[in-house]
Amino acid sequence: MIKPVFKNGKNLSPNTEAALKYVAKVGLMTKDVWLQNFAHGKKRWSNWQLKILLDNELLKIHNCSLGDFYVLGVQGVKISKTLNWPLVDPVTPAQFRHDEVVAHGLLKLEQKEICRNWMIEKEIKDKRDGKFIIQDQGNLVRHPDAIFEAKMGKRFLQVALEYERNGKTVPRYRKILWSYNKTNRFSMVLFIVENETLKKRIKYSLKNLGRVGLIERIGFVDVTEWQQNPISAVIELATVKTSFEKLKAS
């Protein structure tokens, strides 16, 4: 059995193990995520720690030209399998930023014990768990961009997350919303939106669905606020504005 150690036989530090588990779960990690969440000490020492992970083949630099993206190295993959961590392949480079925005926000919520059992789309698909499949009117199968359990008062409730970067047509949004209309599994369907135009388009697509219950479960959060602080970012529901911080305390 492969032990979770460096090449010199030393045990992995807790922050290193947490970073590798995150990369295994998401498929990738940027340098910013490393510095904000897993590195210790000043920037120079943080960069040196990252170099140690690369030298030990725990991580490797992805060969895309979009920035500093890291994926698991050979040893990182072996350790992930040994410890039975969720292990997904990276999405295509065009999706890197999308998945980072989603996953990093959920990581921050998890660190504050506001969310648990989160999965982004790639892990949901790999698990092949039918309970998280949603179907539109044409029975086309799709998955949320992420799912997680959010602390709302004394309970953890299931939330589906959709990150809208570029936007879809009104008919396409209506199909997506109809698919959520058919299930009561999610207490909230949260849309991260890039701009006000996208939010208005989704709201317009809600018309004529005929289900007040769904409208009350739809929430919107601005992507900039989500990236800065998903804990206090304003969530706009049908009749109230709130946040995960407030929902946890309710």
The CATH T-level fold of domain 95-249 is: Trna Endonuclease; Chain: A, domain 1 (3.40.1350)
pLDDT reading at 135 higher than 80: no
Boundaries of every domain in the chain = 14-90, 95-249
Q: Bigger pLDDT: 7 or 250? A: 250
Q: Output the pLDDT for position 130.
A: 64
Please, what is the angle between helix 14-26 and helix 43-55, to 10°? 70
pLDDT reading at 212 higher than 90: no
pLDDT reading at 211 higher than 70: no
The CATH T-level fold of domain 14-90 is: Arc Repressor Mutant, subunit A (1.10.10)
Same fold, 14-90 and 95-249: no
Q: Output the pLDDT for position 31.
A: 92
Listed as own residue / partner, the contacts of 52-61 with beta carbons closer than 8 Å and 24 or more positions apart are: 52/6, 53/16, 53/19, 53/20, 55/7, 56/6, 56/7, 57/7, 58/6, 58/16, 58/20, 59/20, 59/23, 59/29
52-109 per-position pLDDT tens digit: 999 999 999 998 866 789 999 999 999 999 899 999 998 888 889 999 999 999 999 9
What pTM was estimated for this model as a whole? Answer: 0.92
Q: Output the pLDDT for position 125.
A: 87
